[in-house]
Amino acid sequence: MRHPRLAFLIAIVAGTGVMGCAQTSAYADRPATHVAASAGFAYDDFYGELAPYGTWVSVSYGWAWCPLDVYAGWRPYTVGRWAYTDWGWMWLAEDPWGSIPYHYGRWAYDDFYGWVWVPGDVWAPAWVSWRYGSGWVGWAPLPPEATWEVGIGFRYTSGSLDRRIDSNAWCFVPADGFLSRQVRGRVVPPSRNVTLISRTSNVTRYDEVRRMPAERGLGAEVIARAAGRSVPRYSLVDSDSPRLTKRPAIRGRRIEVFRPAVDDRVSRDDRLRAEPPERYRSGPPQRLVERQTAEQRRLQAKWREERAQLEREQARERRQPPRGVSREELRRRHEEERQAQERREEHMRNIYRNRQERFGDGRGRERDKDDRQGRADRGRDRGRGRR
């Protein structure tokens, strides 16, 4: 991993501080603080780190990163596990690229490219919305509109998040399986979300601690009660080692993280309009086309797996109905979930049909060009409005 410029900047920051921020710890045995950096750490560093694992594409939000080596039906925050830290629940990804997209920026679903990551400049243990209730825990990637501002926090309320997050984006697990090291295997099919959302409450809450967001909504005590055991607690400590961009180091009850700040003197709109270097944005590359084709081939198998899992879940509930739920109400819920599965499959068929048509006739580049022109026009309109 090569980060000569970044390592140099971190060394400067550790010794002197930059832009009026608190002095940064460069040693792993000190408490985690906000790693400040000058304009030297920017999205250029993200481009190089993520390039081996995906491609940069133009979407409605601006330039975003699209992972390539993911399975059919993949969703963010599924390949890994949760750990409770002094900054709240942290996502420990098993994806080799996970230490950037799960801790900076937001995720959005694009019908053409699938899940894409929209860059951001503030580190958090995870950028997700939380739901809890009736013995279930759910999480979903926060949308790009949910921006964080130092001194203000989120401008979004839990109610507005509920309206903005698509029901299929939520990952639900039984509360007693939330601490599993293979939590992906405990996530129920998305078709169950249609009833689980109504049985849970949004508990999303991020507080500001030393100018950084800390997740405080999902308490460790509720997970401990559900799991019947104590929840291990970890301390976050900062490291100046760029190798931890790949994966944080867990040493006993400490998690060493590399989380430099991104230059925040450039407006968010300007950052998203800025084009990545040409080598990272050469239109829909062959690997992306291959990923789409492979996903489409695996869809039928994926749906069979989801239907079988849904039937197992529903059979378990028929044998042991949830407390306070009548047989008739349970039957209604199960029918609603089966219909949701059918609607989801039909929706995905249409999406892949459109993708195949657009990739097949070479219109991917045209779409990128049109999106860039549209953003440029909107930028000029905003500029005229300010004047």
pLDDT at position 122:
87
For residues 128 and 203, the answer to whether their CB atoms sit within 8 Å is no
pLDDT category at 333 given cuts 50, 70, 90 is very high
Give residue 367's pLDDT band: very low, low, confident or very high (50, 70, 90).
Answer: very low
Task: Give the whole-angstrom CA distance, residue 317 versus residue 255.
Answer: 38
What pLDDT was estimated at residue 159?
72
Query: pLDDT value at position 80?
Result: 95
In percent, the amount of the chain with pLDDT more than 90 equals 46
98 closest CA partner among 70, 62, 132: 70
Single-letter residue type at 81:
R
Best CA proximity match to 259, nearest among 276, 275, 240, 273: 240
Looking at the predicted structure, is the pLDDT value of residue 78 above 90? yes
Neighbours of 105 (CB within 10 A): 25
Higher confidence at residue 353 or residue 242?
353
Instruction: Output the pLDDT for position 267.
Output: 62
For CA atoms 209, 245, 156, 73, give the dihedral sign: negative
377, pLDDT greater than 80: no
184, 174 contact by CB (below 8 A): no
Average pLDDT estimate for 290-316? 91
- Domain positions in the chain are 4-283
Measure the CA–CA gap between 348 and 165, rounded to whole angstroms.
Answer: 18
> What is the separation, in whole angstroms, between the first and last Cα of the chain?
45
Confidence of residue 355 (pLDDT cuts 50, 70, 90): confident
Q: Give the residues across from 206 on adjacent strands.
A: 215
Nearest-angstrom CA–CA distance, 340 and 376? 38
Q: Determine the pLDDT at residue 261.
A: 67
Our CA angle for 211, 214, 218, nearest 5°, is: 160
Tokens coding 284 = 């829909």
Non-local CB neighbours of 37 within 8 Å, separated by 6+ positions: 6, 9, 10, 13, 18, 260, 261, 262, 263
pLDDT bin (cut points 50, 70, 90) of residue 264 is low
Residue 2: is its pLDDT beyond 50? no
**pLDDT higher than threshold 60 for residue 304:** yes
Q: 202, 117, 115: which is closest to 158 by C-alpha?
A: 202
pLDDT 10s digits, 148-169: 887 888 877 767 888 889 999 9
pLDDT of residue 6: 32
Q: Is the pLDDT of residue 292 over 90?
A: no
Q: What is the pTM of this model?
A: 0.80
Task: Write down the mean pLDDT value for the chain.
Answer: 79
Question: What number of residues does the chain have?
Answer: 387
pLDDT value of residue 234: 96
**Residue 386 to residue 370: CA distance in whole angstroms:** 25
**Is there a contact between 166 and 109 (Cβ–Cβ < 8 Å)?**
yes
